[in-house]
Each structure stands twice: as C-alpha cells, then as structure tokens.
Amino acid sequence: MRIQLPPDRQIKQAKYKLHCSWQLKHLLRGYEHIVKQRLQQSADLVSFILELKTVLELGLKRSSECIAIPPPQYYSQLISEMETLGWDMLLFIDTEFQTLKLKAEDSSGRQHILTIKFKSKHPAEAPECSADLPIPLAITWTPQSTLQQLHKQFMLVLESLTEFWDVLDEIDNQTWILEPEKPSRCDTMRRIAIGNNVSIKVELDPRHPKMLPECCLLGAEHVVTPLRNKLNSNMHLWNPNSSVLHNLRDVLKIKFPSPATHEKSDFSVECGICYSYRLEAAIPDQVCNDPRCGQPFHQACLYEWLRALPSSRQSFNIVFGECPYCSKSIDIQKT
Ligand SMILES: [Zn+2]
Ligand SMILES: [Zn+2]
C-alpha cells in the first residue's frame, strides 16, 4: 500500500492508492471506503496503521467464513452419490457444489424439482431441502444419508400428493381459472369461472383432496343466491370417490365453461373504474347487484370511489353509495 503525504505532512490530506499484492487487494475488497475514511480521521500514520490492522482482521475473518472449502472427500462422495442416483436426474449444480436441483417425475408424469442446499457442517448438519409443494417438505436426515435416500423420500411425498394434483389438473384443464393467475404446484386454491362475473373459489385440503372443499361463491347476488342454495341443499350428494370437478357439477347442477367452449376474455371483464382486469393481484370481484347492470369493480377501486363521493354513507368499514354505472345502491367493505 502506498500512502502519499502532502508537503505539510497532514495525514488528513493524504492521497491513498492501493499498490499491493492481489491477496491484500482481495482482503480489502468492499472495505475501500472504510480505509479512506479511517485515513482521513486518523491523527497520524501510526494510528492509521492500527485502524488498518483492525479492518484487515475483519476482512480475514469474513473471508475465512465464506471460503470454507469442504475437504476433497466431500466432492468425491457427492460424485459417487450422483452416480448412484443417475446424472440425468441433475438439473443444476452451483459452482461451489453446494446447491443441487434434482428432477423427479411422479406417477402421473408431472415434473418436480427438489432443491438441496448442503450446509457448511455437512453431513453432520441436515441439508436444506425445498420444493414446490402444498405441504411442508419434511425430510429425515442422518449423517449417513445419501442423495438417493433424499430423492426417495421426496418421491414418497410426491406420491402422497398425486391425488391432490390429479384433482387440480382436471379443474385446470377443463375450466377457466381466474385465480391464481398462473397456478403452481403449491397452490391449493382455485377460483373457477362459472359465467360472466360469477365464479366459485375452492380451497382444497392437500391431504384430503376429494373431500368437500371450502367453497365461496362470488358475483352478483341474484346469480350467487340460487347457486348457494343449490350448494347447501345438495351437499349430501358429494361423493368423496369422485373428483372435485364432477362433484361441483353435480352439486351446483351447472356446466363449467371450459377452454373448449369459451374464450377466457368472456370472464375477464375489466373493472368499471380503472378499466383494467388485474390490479396488482386482484381481479374485479365486486359486482353491481342490479341484474341489468352487473358491472364488476375491484374492491379497492370501488371503495375509494364511493368514499370520495359526498352522497355516500359510511358505517364502520362499510361504505354505502351508488353504482357508478346504474346509480342503484351498492355497498363495499374495506378489507
Ligand atoms: Zn379497478
Ligand atoms: Zn350498477
């Protein structure tokens, strides 16, 4: 390191430039501004050198923490375990050989990914395993456990969920899903279009996917009420051996619009206030109850709109006002 002092030997004005070995440069990476600051704040060279020593010690400690290279046997073990499992199962490995992504196919042919992150105290410490699942991934680990055993445990978890995914795949393929926008394997909720501005939200239990799910009908009252009555009076018809979609058809006595019969745009009617369909993640799920109007709005848009009008009335967190389209009474709850 070269420190150039001005003629008056005032260290505060000193120019500092790093001329040093790459090891020192590497150690000081990210600490340059601190070195500069210490140089300007030090009373003399001696106190600066002491400050520099502290900075270097800190850098040394940090670098020894992040470059904890595992022993050679870690790599040979990993390679031999990958050979047993099959290299074709490996989708990704990072340059440190610490994070792996393994592929897995369930009995219905769906592709899944198991991410394994080995910890610094591997194999004493269990690796961190994660996957796109609707339930927590519980993995049993001992220091003798292998990749193949991890993969096998993952496959068992996948098998326990095949019925859940079969039920959801049928719904996803044969109906129009309004929410989530792009369902992933961990999603247990589906909002299924029934008609224009009418939908049903179902929440499945991944452990008991064919049981009657939690259902919530959304839309204008005059359409939702008869459907809700059918749901309540036909609930006893629910057959746990049949799929959720079949049961919903039987209980509600309806045919769900499907990609084969309808366009998605038939159901994604934009909000009457902001003129868009998606507002962040929300879709326009508040509908004017007047059968001749039926205009949908985002909850947030309608709430703000009504609250801003002097003719509206607020009671607790509900605002009562008029539909911006047909002037019939409409109310909205703040979430
Ligand atoms: Zn809106
Ligand atoms: Zn209206």
Separation of CA 119 and ligand 2 centre (Å): 59
CA 208 from centroid of its chain's CA atoms: 23
Say which CATH number the domain at 145 has. Answer: 3.10.110.10
| Torsion angle (degrees, nearest 10) of CA 294, 300, 302, 305 | -160
Range of the domain at 227: 163-265
Same domain? For 259 and 174 the reply is yes
Same domain? For 25 and 39 the reply is yes
- Shortest-distance ligand to the CA of residue 220: 2
Specify the pLDDT at position 219. Answer: 86
Separation of CA 269 and ligand 2 centre (Å): 14
**Domain boundary residue among 116, 133, 160?**
160
- Shortest-distance ligand to the CA of residue 297: 1
Same domain? For 171 and 249 the reply is yes
Q: How many domains does the chain have?
A: 4
CA 260 from centroid of its chain's CA atoms: 30
Separation of CA 267 and ligand 1 centre (Å): 15
Query: How many Å apart are CA 326 and CA 292, to the nearest integer?
Result: 9
Nearest Cα residue to 192 out of 183, 92, 184 = 183
Q: How many Cα atoms are found within 13 Å in the side-chain-facing hemisphere of 206?
A: 18
Separation of CA 303 and ligand 2 centre (Å): 14
Say which CATH number the domain at 319 has. Answer: 3.30.40.10
Task: Answer with the residue of higher pLDDT: 13 or 125.
Answer: 125
- Shortest-distance ligand to the CA of residue 329: 2
Separation of CA 256 and ligand 1 centre (Å): 26
Separation of CA 325 and ligand 2 centre (Å): 5
Query: How many Å apart are CA 107 and CA 158, to the nearest integer?
Result: 9
Separation of CA 176 and ligand 2 centre (Å): 25
Same domain? For 55 and 104 the reply is no
Same domain? For 79 and 154 the reply is yes
Same domain? For 148 and 103 the reply is yes
Same domain? For 193 and 210 the reply is yes
* Cβ–Cβ under 8 Å, residues 48 and 75: no
Query: How many Å apart are CA 335 and CA 333, to the nearest integer?
Result: 6
Same domain? For 242 and 174 the reply is yes
Separation of CA 104 and ligand 2 centre (Å): 51
**Domain boundary residue among 66, 94, 112?**
66
Same domain? For 156 and 167 the reply is no
- Shortest-distance ligand to the CA of residue 272: 1
Give the containing element (helix H, strand E) for 107: none
220 pLDDT higher than 70 = yes
Task: Answer with the residue of higher pLDDT: 300 or 43.
Answer: 300
Same domain? For 176 and 252 the reply is yes
Separation of CA 120 and ligand 1 centre (Å): 49
Separation of CA 301 and ligand 1 centre (Å): 5
Query: How many Å apart are CA 276 and CA 3, to the nearest integer?
Result: 62
**pLDDT (tens digit, 9 = 90+) per residue, 75-132?**
999 999 999 999 999 999 998 899 999 999 999 999 999 999 999 888 899 999 999 9
| Torsion angle (degrees, nearest 10) of CA 292, 296, 299, 304 | -70
**Domain boundary residue among 144, 160, 176?**
160
Lowest mean pLDDT among 63-72, 88-97, 151-160, 323-332: 63-72
Same domain? For 316 and 224 the reply is no
Same domain? For 261 and 171 the reply is yes
What ipTM does this complex have? 0.90
